């Protein structure tokens, strides 16, 4: 972190070192590899090709069908009908 001393000099601003160079190189290589993997095989996941994740709780069956009765709503309200459809 940079700071300004009492006499006006800026110190501690150099965050670069030789250890950053390999990190930048491998970060760039990993980015290129992942970019081309997604172009070639977009369905590839960390568990293998073609694996699909299921977000349902284990041991549960399919979700139930539609509700048997309407839940709320305003019902039928007499009012102004919608305008006619435009066309040409």
pLDDT exceeds cutoff 70 at 82: yes
Q: Count other Cβ atoms within 10 Å, centred on residue 62.
A: 6
pTM: 0.39
Q: Let me know the angle formed at the C-alpha of 19 by 18 and 24, rounded to the nearest 5 degrees.
A: 100
> 40 versus 81: which is more confidently predicted?
40
User: Average pLDDT of 59-87?
Assistant: 69
- Two tokens at 24? 């930048």
> How does residue 33 score in pLDDT terms, banded at 50, 70 and 90?
very high
- Percentage of residues in the chain with pLDDT exceeding 70? 53
């Amino acid at each position: 972190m940079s700071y300004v001393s009492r006499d006006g000099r800026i110190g501690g601003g150099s965050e670069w070192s030789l250890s950053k160079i390999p990190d930048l190189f491998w970060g760039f290589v990993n980015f290129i590899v992942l970019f081309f993997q997604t172009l070639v095989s977009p369905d590839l996941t960390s568990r293998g090709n073609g694996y699909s994740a299921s977000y349902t709780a284990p041991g549960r069956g399919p979700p139930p069908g539609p509700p048997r009765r309407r839940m709320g709503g305003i019902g039928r309200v007499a009012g102004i009908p919608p305008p006619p459809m435009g066309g040409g």
